[in-house]
Structure 1
Amino acid sequence: MDARLAVRRKPQFRDEERALLATLNNLSGVQLDSVQILNLYDVFSASESDIESLSASIVCDDRVDDRITSEELTEILNSASGFLAVEPLPGQYDQRADAANQALRLVQPETEASIYSAVLYVFEPAQSDEARAAIRSFLINPVEAGEKDMKVLQAPATGSVEPLRQYPGFNELDEAGLEALLAERGMAMNLADLETIQEYFREEGRTPTDVELSVLDTYWSDHCRHTTFNTELTDIANEGSRFKDQLARALRRYDELRETNGRTHKPRTLMDMGTIMGRELRRTGVMDDQEVSEEINACSVYVDVSRGDGERSDALHGDGERSDVLHGDGERSDVLHGDGERSEPSPWLLMFKNETHNHPTEIEPFGGASTCLGGAIRDPLSGRSWVYQALRLSGAGDINTPREETLEGKLPQADISARATAGYSSYGNQIGLATTNVREFVHPGYVAKRMELGAVVAAAPVENVKRLEPAHGDVVIILGGRTGRDGIGGATGSSKAHNDTSLATSGAEVQKGNPVNERKIQRLFRNPEVAQMIVRCNDFGAGGVAVAVGELADSLDIHLERVPLKYAGLNAREIAISESQERMAVVVRAENAGRFIELAETENLEATQLAEVTDSGRLRMFNGEDLVLDLSRAFIDTNGAARSQSVSLVDAPMEAPHAAPASVAEALASPAGGSQEGMVEQFDSTVGRSTVLMPFGGKRQKTFEMASIQSLPVAGGTPTSSVMTYGYSPELASESPFLMGAYSVVEALARLTAAGADATTAWLTVQEYFQRLDQEPERWGEVTQAILGLLEAQDAFQVAAIGGKDSMSGTYGDGLHVPPTLVTFAVAVIDKADAISAAIPDAGLSLYLLPHTPLESGEPDYEALRTNFADFTALAARGEVRAASAVTQAGIGATIVNMVAGNGLGFTGSADISWVEAHLGGIVFAVSEGVTVPESARLLGQTTNDGELSFGAEHLSVDKALDIAEERYRSVFPLNDAAGEDLPDFATKLPEAQSPAEATAVSGDHSDAAEGTAPHVLLPVFPGTNSEYDMSEAFRAAGATTEFLVIRNLTPQMLEEDTQVFIDKLGTADILAFSGGFSLGDEPDGSAKFMAAFLRTPEVAQAVSSFVAGDGLVLGICNGFQALVKSGFLPYGDPSKLTETSPTLAHNRQLRHVSRIATTRVASVDSPWLATFTPGQTHLVPVSHGEGRFVVSEEDAKQLFAHHQVAFQYVDENEIPTMEAPANPNGSSYAIEGIISPDGRILGKMGHPERFRPGLMKNIPGIYSQDIFLNAVTYCKNRK
């Protein structure tokens, strides 16, 4: 049967409707009284039991949702003054529908049903044509979605296989004919490329196939082959710039470096210019730690990693018993290991990569930004490394621009910025990647095309990465996601400029990401057996099969009919070039192929043998028996026609000069000075148990940190940490590309130095983003000047860019261009004990400035900077720096405001300082009185404890300064600062103290545990789980053994098998722990539905109930807590007691993700998990979730408190439970953060104590371990 299911939130949960109503009423001409939001699910080929299961618990949660009958839906539509139904475009990945399909197969394994989702918006009263158009424009981005016909119930058509085009007269086409073909096909290549192809096929004696033309267009695109950066610069005219002398000097140095590095026979190119310093430093031995390989996945360097940092970790590697197994086979152990003690350093590879998705994010912000991060992750992941650290930069126009001023064919800047933020953060939050440094630049040029830039850091033991050569007979395996039409043209489209039709015509070029799948690949590659099988690996990016597989070896036979497809109907051309997110192509020896595929299946991944390595010297593609591509490798590697270009170095047309702010207050209100806390807080910053500095430091969490610092992913912990910073000034970009390039290095190294790293040890990677260059010499000169500035700075500091990406498509129409953009990322390794926060901790400290005064020309004074950086590093090495920050573009005063805001301090400054001066390259630092500082340091003033700021004649409070800084971005990225009502006495008073006998009766004996068998913890891993390693580490540090059990659902047989394995393993476990994550992306429209459905299956529910009755302990954190609540194991301990009015977890009050540190108070100790705590004791705990609001009726809340089932509550600075944000970060009823079952054996909580270990989050005063894990382990040991 076919059916349409409709669901609407119950009245008390309609926050999204209320928020949307307010937003729509801000649109021109819109005056609505109400908006209804109904989620629709069209179900096809379903049985009655399928429909019943979907309605009962999958698409509807009776505690939160109202089911709308078909009759009620008809009545709503007939009586509505207006409605709009929106559905994804055919072929686009729909995570909600996918999750519904997977959840249905969990409870109905043999179902043949298919599910498609949509959203229905109902409006009252009737609106004008203008208002309806505004509403439609806001709710539908034509790149990703379209209007749904509510009169039709029909599965979307996927299309039939289109026949491949033929080109019988191709070899005879004249220039005009080739030009016409280029235009007709919308190719990214130019005429010279197509003429080269024509000549090749004349020599081959045949005409090209449709697949061959498309594959070559993809291979030779700027995106895949850096065509622009590899163009020969035949003549560089240096006559019209005010930096003529400096540019001449830089060009001479470039030519000297070409000579000394034997490059004079190579063409002069932007690529050569940008990478020459790396060659030079390798030649001189200054940089002897770079890994140089034919397999270029990401920047890769050798580092020594210490193991253990004082936290105990039992047998995390190779104990052959309970070590990190997948399905209890007693074999696989986790490679990232440690023993809790310092040991001899071991060799690791540190990898880092930056990536932009400017084109896709501009036209489809959510999907484009999410796949920006997904693509950045896959590069080092293909190098067999674990990605654990991310930094995100973006460029936008003024997001406060009125919507009616949006350019034709463009989305409003506010929409792009908000949706891109949601997309990038959603991907990172789901996959489990800590993003700890986030900033959006503002410049009117980014209206031309947004900048969406991600950078990641990864690491792996050297022993896991085998750099081998593919050999004849090897096989290529693809694993991960499937291929569809979405993504066709991704590489070529990103290489083009935009125009006013891009939104309407570019939809197929943008894919939706599936982070759940990519997480599975991460887990697989973390297995050393898998990693060491890989001969070579490539991730699937914009080039699809053609590039990802085609690059792996010189000679290949590829079988397109073997590619797993999302749906039928794709022809060979589409299969060959469609971009595919979340896929990898790996070369393995033929004898290892079966084992590799077997191991992939243990991680719930599809893996298929797709190709064979041959010795033909040709790339061939077959589609069944048809040979659809047969190209010489030598021809492919020409990268098309040789390109050359003359360059003219002239001053860019001067924009209005950047006026320095007149006051510190004005600087705080500027784009550079404004706080973006409401945006930054949406990114999970603590997952991975590695965050050394939170994004915002201080007890008030208001000091924005200058660097991302994470400890490497070594199980058991390590002091070895990576630091990543960036440098870029949009203001300088408008003034001079040469200065911009130079100062990007200066600023990145200043930030790195201020964070505690030694700038002389840094590695760099660079992102270039410029207007479309065409054949305009002055435009090429803009890029050349930036690269020459970069070159001089690298030379001056003796550091080098060893990687980077370029994008030359920042043009809209004929006259709007992005500003010259060259972002430098700096990476270094430090001991986490040496990390320096920008948050000044105390009053009575002296603040100094290590100034940087540019040369008269505006160039950096490199000699002074080198001295300053060295002096500061020496001072920091003595442990005398209490806090430090690089000076930002907003000036010295704004930098100090940021530094004191975290702890609410004041500052009294000298009268003779220019507080609004930027001093890029300068460092402000705090020391105790009497500390000897470098001679060049200038005293700025002292910190006070009164919260008052004095900058000469300008005075304001720190709270007022924060208000000013937070105002600019508040309308698009609201702060989490909602007020709350007072709580009743029953929710604020603490339970009476228990006698020792009573406490022991409830919580067990927690005296010193006897040495004995370590308790064993079972950790199920569901699709979307992302905190299992953190949870495992926390338990192992407490003395337990752990094992993972991946719950697979690729086939009904796998699911049935793993369900039984789960039940069997409970029999040997002492503790069952459900980790955090986003079960199936928190879809369909609700958190942990897949996990809850699993727990509610009769056999699993019975097994867990028996486990608890046998004195087993159960823990659920975040997603795990959601699953326990939604299954009924909390608060009742019994799923059968679940009702429509039971407590639940809902969307956060502010309808977005929140990641920060929360203070919680112990409200009960009636559990083994809580036994060593005391009522009223407080902990600082990381929180990171989008659906963490615990909702409970007053009657049920009274019962929970009366029976001591409330374990933890959110409290304010006075340690009183509160409903006010951000102390109560999600708006949980009665400030409840965690609860226990009636018998105390089951604990669920939203906070993440497993993410803390000593030395992490060191910019949060007073943080320490909330060791529920040790309590449980001690209980189990004494019980035994």
Structure 2
Amino acid sequence: MTKNMLHRIEVVTKKEFLDAEGDALKKSIAHLNLGKVDDIRVIKVYKLEGIDDKQLLHSIVEKLLVEKLWQDYALDEQVIRETDKAIEVALKPGVMDTEIDSVTKAVSDLGIDGLIAAGTGKRYIFKGNVSTNEVQKIAEQLLMNKTVQYILQKPEETLIIGSSPAQTQTVSMREMSDEQLIELSNNRLWLNLEEMKIIQNHFKKLDRDPTDLEVEMLAQTWSEHCVHKTFKAKLIIDGKEKPSLMSRIKNATKEINSSKVISVFEDNSGVIEFFDDLAVSGKGETHNSPSAIEPYGGAMTGSGGVFRDIVGTGQGAKTIISTDVFCFAPLDLPREKVPLGSIHPRRLSQEIVRGVKDYGNRMGIPTNNGSFHFHPDFVAKPTILVGAYGIMPKKFAKKSKPKKGDLILTAGGKTGRDGIHGATFSSGEMTADTKKVSGSAVQIGNAIEEKRTFDAIMIARDRGLIRAITDCGAGGYSSAVGEMGEELGAVVKLESIDLKYQGLAPWEIWISESQERMVMAVDPKDIKELEKIFSGYNVDIVVIGEFTGDRKLKITWEGQIVCDLEMEFIHNGLPQRTMEGAWREPKLSEPDIGEPIIFAEQEVSSLTPPLSRMGEGARRAGEARDRAKSYNEIFKKVLAHWNVCSKEPIVRRYDHEVMGTSALKPYSGVKKDAPNDAVIVEPVLGSGKGLAVAHGLNPTYNKIHPYWGAASAFDECVRNMVATGVDPENIALLDNFIWPFPEKEELGQLDQAVDACYDITTAWKMPLVSGKDSLSSTYRGPNGKVIKIPPVLCISGFAPVKEIEKTVSSDFKQAGSSIFIIGETKAELGGSVYYDLQGQLGASVPKVDIIRARKIFKTMHKTIQNGLLRSSHDISEGGIGVTIAEMCFGGDMGAKIELEKVSDLDRADHILFSESNTRFVVEVAPEDEGKILELFNGLPISKIGEVSDDKNLKFLFKGKELIFGELNELKKVYKSTMSKYF
């Protein structure tokens, strides 16, 4: 048999044009001091196998792979011959190469047959005084991720993946000792001994040993990630039994009994009423573990997965908004402080942002709301929270139940080894070995495939062809088919599933988390019409089984039964856990920090924003007292702090204008660089009706007191929405808990946070309609070092907006306007940016007056609806000074503020940098002062200054000028931090 020839195409930017990728890489190498590189050329490599006609190959290259105006290429030879040092990086065999998927389809569309395999890579050519060892370090730190990529040492002979015949194995589990059960679990299942013994005893009753598919499926179904064992557990807190965490959250929404809620905690996302017989849905999802080991793929598939949650809601919703919330260690963290097995936060953040950008932009879904948060303890395991919101006709908002005889239809991507053990992996702690052993838990997404699949699903939905739909997320087909068929039972033929390559064992096919796959229950009579719809979008659909009615799950592989279990045992065989927790309030105190110098001609010694290591607090506080700083200097440091500085360089990478629905953008103002508190889109163009989205969180507060940290997250989310004009009566909420592994202390913290969820949602009448918990954010190093993230509770909100014209942005509009503060400023600096600059945590965490807060929110809404506010901005990290600076930046105007009118506190720094909740700064026309004071009668409100046209920001205290800053200088400081990295 004639051997197929593998052809290689190299494409490079012409010398007269800037090699943008090479230039950016050169800057990164210099920043990390990895070597002296004069120039870098980046060469894109394509490999095509099966077509040997050179004329055809040149045609493919020139039509698909190269832009001859600014690129050169070479076929089967090097495009650049003179090289100092060169290295080539490629994806490992079996890893999804999304570009090649498009190339393969395009070659087919050209009418060219014979392409049997393809691949890509990149060759980097380094010029300068750089050693081989330095090139190797550059590759490992900047060019590749060993989890999914490798350095090509010699040319491949073929791209065809070899395989052995797939086999099902029996796991001899019935006679295993406890030690053997634990060993089996640690190797592949991540269950505890009690759970392993339940499985063992069940198969003893069946008088047989399980197949590997059966034990893998049970491990996936019973994983923390999928079944939420901690949140459903019976709790003993400080010796007293309490309702489960999950029941408290659900009961809060039941007690509210909101008429606007359509679907709550029963589908892939929560659904509420919109306008005109439409409904909107929302979901937040974490992808921490995959993103920690392969940040680009982990972030991509996080976004892709939450988009599928929206489309898999009811009978299908259209995804219209993408969001992202990230928690990292500081990007300037010394490399020696990054623990073994972890990726430096600089590269981690850049790759995660690139992943979210690439997926959302390619899908044509605007990523228009999000935030960045920093703390050193996110160094080993970041928090990666992605969200999505969708819209659908109200009549499609509820799922129909599959019927006996309905076909199980899968649509979208093919199945491979990517993502195997993703659900169980995400349920475990991270260690130094995580990257080595969990590579298969990482998936790479293909946004184009998902876009085509979604478009076809919308047509099928509108024609009434979908009975029920869900996505293949954690656990793959095991989760999707298992959950959809829980009440009926199902039979599945694994051999009918389309594979990316041969050689997968049946259990791998069943639990693979390969991306872009949806599962539907459809009537057999509709299959021909569905085939026609999906083929029109070049999307594969396959019937893989049917729903049976016997409440059993039967799976076959080439005629062999590889699973035969009752749905009852699969879904209800796991008993409720009993877990003990304890809450002890940390023994913290307020730091002894002297007040800054009232005035000094000093400049900022360094604009690199320090972030406390918390353990070094006392030493750094002593240093801070030894070198007293002026208010001017400290204010600039606050503006440059990681948790305050402008995130605009990141936001601008996302396309938030696609779809053309943007009504209130992430940034506004004269120069479009002032952050708004929420975003508002107009889903139905021309309707004048909007959907608002915002969120709130502060992990540092949770370290001090998780009840008040949780309360602050609610308050920030709601005040962000209310600041733009949203009616608080229309807000629905999402909760996402990202916590260290739940030992006794952590469980006590969770209990406190959930108590806050219950108290606030019932008091404010705001339903929690969807949520997710991720309770594995603990790192254990080989030297016994344990790193636990600061507990994270992110509260996201979404709400219909009746009139988008009656909303306000954050930027000052007119010189001479009056500036008011609404809300009470207290000496609440625990966890603040100001304390962090002194190397301290503090104890006085901001609290929430739950009853008064609701009154303020409702009055704010009424004030905006009456047209009395020219601008509005909430007060959060950094305090009132940061809020007013951002409003000045947006309006390109100055302001003069008298701090003694803000609060009666006796220290100006406490007034200026307090982070008390439920506060707003608003701009009011002088003639409307009386009206706003009347509306807020009985609530805390005060006029504190006015907007000026001199482009200077001044803060005074009892007649003394504390801060004087020229606007452009302050803005430069504000923008300096993140611009070094993005």
Q: Do structure 1's residue 272 and structure 2's residue 247 form an aligned pair?
A: yes
1:672 deviates by 2.4
**Contact 1:53-1:104 within 8 A present in 2 as well:** no
Corresponding position of 2:146: 142
Corresponding position of 1:923: 920
User: Is the partner of 2:895 in helix, strand or coil?
Assistant: strand
Matches within 5 A, 1:116-195: 116-125=119-128, 127-128=130-131, 130-138=133-141, 139-168=143-172, 170-183=173-186, 185-195=187-197
Corresponding position of 1:722: 691
Corresponding position of 1:780: 747
Structure 1 residues 579-635: Cα deviation after superposition (integer angstroms, max 9, x where no partner): 021111000122222222222222221111111110111111111201111111110
**Contact 2:846-2:917 within 8 A present in 1 as well:** no
1:531 deviates by 5.8
Taking structure 1 as reference, are residues 141 and 951 closer, same or farther at Cα in structure 2, changes over 3 Å only?
same
**Contact 2:34-2:134 within 8 A present in 1 as well:** yes
Deviation larger for 671-680 or 868-877 = 868-877
Partner residue of 2:297 out of 360, 367, 379: 367
Taking structure 1 as reference, are residues 639 and 827 closer, same or farther at Cα in structure 2, changes over 3 Å only?
farther
Q: Do structure 1's residue 600 and structure 2's residue 609 form an aligned pair?
A: no
Structure 1 residues 1200-1236: Cα deviation after superposition (integer angstroms, max 9, x where no partner): xxxxxxxxxxxxxxxxxxxxxxxxxxxxxxxxxxxxx
Corresponding position of 2:59: 53
Q: Do structure 1's residue 938 and structure 2's residue 947 form an aligned pair?
A: no
User: Is the partner of 2:251 in helix, strand or coil?
Assistant: helix
In structure 1, how many angstroms separate the alpha carbons of the residues matched to 2:754 and 2:667?
A: 33
User: Is the partner of 1:969 in helix, strand or coil?
Assistant: helix
Q: Do structure 1's residue 433 and structure 2's residue 365 form an aligned pair?
A: yes
1:529 deviates by 5.1
Taking structure 1 as reference, are residues 292 and 31 closer, same or farther at Cα in structure 2, changes over 3 Å only?
closer
In structure 2, how many angstroms separate the alpha carbons of the residues matched to 1:95 and 1:428?
A: 15
Q: Do structure 1's residue 844 and structure 2's residue 844 form an aligned pair?
A: no
Partner residue of 2:28 out of 23, 27, 37: 23
Taking structure 1 as reference, are residues 293 and 888 closer, same or farther at Cα in structure 2, changes over 3 Å only?
closer
Structure 1 residues 25-72: Cα deviation after superposition (integer angstroms, max 9, x where no partner): 333441222322211122211131331223323222211211235454
In structure 1, how many angstroms separate the alpha carbons of the residues matched to 2:324 and 2:917?
A: 21
1:273 deviates by 2.1
Partner residue of 1:407 out of 317, 336, 339: 339
Q: Percent identity?
A: 24
**Contact 1:37-1:121 within 8 A present in 2 as well:** yes
Matches within 5 A, 1:360-759: 360-383=290-313, 384-465=316-397, 467-527=399-459, 530=462, 532-554=464-486, 555-638=489-572, 640-652=574-586, 655=614, 663-712=634-683, 714=684, 716-759=685-728
Partner residue of 1:971 out of 946, 956, 980: 980
Stretches of structure 2 that go unaligned for 5 or more consecutive residues are 589-613, 829-843, 903-910
**Contact 1:696-1:703 within 8 A present in 2 as well:** yes
In structure 2, how many angstroms separate the alpha carbons of the residues matched to 1:515 and 1:857?
A: 42
In structure 2, how many angstroms separate the alpha carbons of the residues matched to 1:140 and 1:467?
A: 43
In structure 2, how many angstroms separate the alpha carbons of the residues matched to 1:897 and 1:476?
A: 57
Normalised to the residue count of structure 2, the TM-score between the two structures is 0.88
Corresponding position of 2:862: 874
Structure 1 residues 408-442: Cα deviation after superposition (integer angstroms, max 9, x where no partner): 21111000101100110111111011121221111
Matches within 5 A, 1:333-372: 346-372=276-302
1:444 deviates by 1.2
Partner residue of 1:957 out of 966, 972, 978: 966
AA at the equivalent of 2:215? L
Structure 1 residues 3-31: Cα deviation after superposition (integer angstroms, max 9, x where no partner): 11112110113222222122223334412
Corresponding position of 1:896: 884
In structure 2, how many angstroms separate the alpha carbons of the residues matched to 1:69 and 1:212?
A: 49
1:94 deviates by 0.9
Matches within 5 A, 1:2-81: 2-11=6-15, 12-48=17-53, 49-68=55-74, 70-72=76-78, 76=81, 80-81=83-84
CA RMSD of aligned residues (A): 2.2
User: Is the partner of 1:827 in helix, strand or coil?
Assistant: strand
In structure 2, how many angstroms separate the alpha carbons of the residues matched to 1:420 and 1:278?
A: 34
Taking structure 1 as reference, are residues 72 and 426 closer, same or farther at Cα in structure 2, changes over 3 Å only?
closer
**Contact 2:699-2:793 within 8 A present in 1 as well:** no
In structure 1, how many angstroms separate the alpha carbons of the residues matched to 2:456 and 2:75?
A: 44
1:677 deviates by 0.7
Taking structure 1 as reference, are residues 466 and 908 closer, same or farther at Cα in structure 2, changes over 3 Å only?
closer
Matches within 5 A, 1:780-1179: 780-813=747-780, 814-830=785-801, 831-853=803-825, 859-912=847-900, 913=902, 914-931=911-928, 932-933=931-932, 934-935=936-937, 936-952=940-956, 953=961, 954-973=963-982
AA at the equivalent of 1:840? F
State the number of aligned residues.
Answer: 892
AA at the equivalent of 1:910? E
User: Is the partner of 2:572 in helix, strand or coil?
Assistant: coil
Taking structure 1 as reference, are residues 457 and 55 closer, same or farther at Cα in structure 2, changes over 3 Å only?
closer
User: Is the partner of 1:961 in helix, strand or coil?
Assistant: helix
Normalised to the residue count of structure 1, the TM-score between the two structures is 0.68
Q: Do structure 1's residue 215 and structure 2's residue 217 form an aligned pair?
A: yes
In structure 1, how many angstroms separate the alpha carbons of the residues matched to 2:175 and 2:366?
A: 56
1:136 deviates by 2.3
In structure 2, how many angstroms separate the alpha carbons of the residues matched to 1:101 and 1:556?
A: 35
User: Is the partner of 1:26 in helix, strand or coil?
Assistant: helix
**Contact 1:385-1:525 within 8 A present in 2 as well:** no
**Contact 1:885-1:895 within 8 A present in 2 as well:** yes
AA at the equivalent of 2:649? G
AA at the equivalent of 2:254? R
In structure 1, how many angstroms separate the alpha carbons of the residues matched to 2:467 and 2:62?
A: 48
1:871 deviates by 1.9
In structure 1, how many angstroms separate the alpha carbons of the residues matched to 2:583 and 2:165?
A: 51
**Contact 1:738-1:786 within 8 A present in 2 as well:** yes
Taking structure 1 as reference, are residues 793 and 93 closer, same or farther at Cα in structure 2, changes over 3 Å only?
same
AA at the equivalent of 1:965? Y
Q: Do structure 1's residue 85 and structure 2's residue 88 form an aligned pair?
A: yes
AA at the equivalent of 1:607? I
Matches within 5 A, 1:1227-1242: none
Corresponding position of 1:1266: none
User: Is the partner of 1:448 in helix, strand or coil?
Assistant: coil
1:653 deviates by 7.0
**Contact 2:381-2:779 within 8 A present in 1 as well:** yes
AA at the equivalent of 1:26? H
1:898 deviates by 0.9
Stretches of structure 1 that go unaligned for 5 or more consecutive residues are 239-250, 256-267, 306-345, 974-1280
In structure 1, how many angstroms separate the alpha carbons of the residues matched to 2:158 and 2:460?
A: 47
Structure 1 residues 842-882: Cα deviation after superposition (integer angstroms, max 9, x where no partner): 21211111123469995311232122222212211211111
1:517 deviates by 1.4
Taking structure 1 as reference, are residues 532 and 466 closer, same or farther at Cα in structure 2, changes over 3 Å only?
farther
**Contact 2:168-2:562 within 8 A present in 1 as well:** no
In structure 2, how many angstroms separate the alpha carbons of the residues matched to 1:815 and 1:58?
A: 50
1:203 deviates by 0.9
User: Is the partner of 2:46 in helix, strand or coil?
Assistant: strand
User: Is the partner of 1:757 in helix, strand or coil?
Assistant: coil
Structure 1 residues 119-140: Cα deviation after superposition (integer angstroms, max 9, x where no partner): 1112234644652342121212
Taking structure 1 as reference, are residues 918 and 295 closer, same or farther at Cα in structure 2, changes over 3 Å only?
closer
Structure 1 residues 893-923: Cα deviation after superposition (integer angstroms, max 9, x where no partner): 1111111212311111114242222232201
1:487 deviates by 1.1
Name which one, 1 or 2, has greater alpha-carbon Rg.
1
AA at the equivalent of 1:362? A
In structure 2, how many angstroms separate the alpha carbons of the residues matched to 1:615 and 1:356?
A: 34
User: Is the partner of 1:642 in helix, strand or coil?
Assistant: coil
1:769 deviates by 0.3
Structure 1 residues 749-808: Cα deviation after superposition (integer angstroms, max 9, x where no partner): 1111111012132111100000012xx321211111111122222233222312100001
